[in-house]
Amino acid sequence: MDAALKAHLDRRQALLDQVRALIVKQTGRRLAPADIDPDAPLFVSGLGLDSVDTVELIIALESELGLPLPSDTEAVPALRTVNTIVDAVLARPGGTDRAA
């Protein structure tokens, strides 16, 4: 594995771990962070987060990962899964790294 690919994968794994831990902490779910699959739906049918969880999560994402508060139209796709959140964090100014 070359250095650029390794850096990309390491960066994504670190963010994945951070976002999962944040979700567990903010929502109080009785889960280990690794129990949250990266592409599983977070709301309704998946992890079952509700509107209160959403507010808590959005605030935590801004304070801990610097993800700006999304508009209504941005929030729907950005908060669908852990990986969509990781994408949003990487896409923010200074988020760096894309397509190893």
| Longest distance between any two alpha carbons in the chain, whole Å | 43
* Residue number with CB closer to other proteins (14 or 63): 14
* Residues found in the chain: 100
Q: Which is nearer to other proteins, 39 or 62 (CB)?
A: 39
Report the C-alpha gap between 53 and 73 in whole angstroms.
18
CB of 73 to other proteins, least distance (A): 7
Residues that bind other proteins (CB under 8 A): 1-2, 5, 8-9, 12-13, 16, 30, 34-41, 44-48, 73, 76-77, 80-81, 83-84, 86-87, 90, 98-100
* CB of 10 or CB of 62, closer to other proteins: 10
* Shortest Cβ 84–other proteins spacing (Å): 6
Burial class (CB in 10 A: 0-12, 13-18, 19+), 86: buried
Q: Identify the bridge partners of residue 49 per DSSP, sorted by sequence position.
A: 43
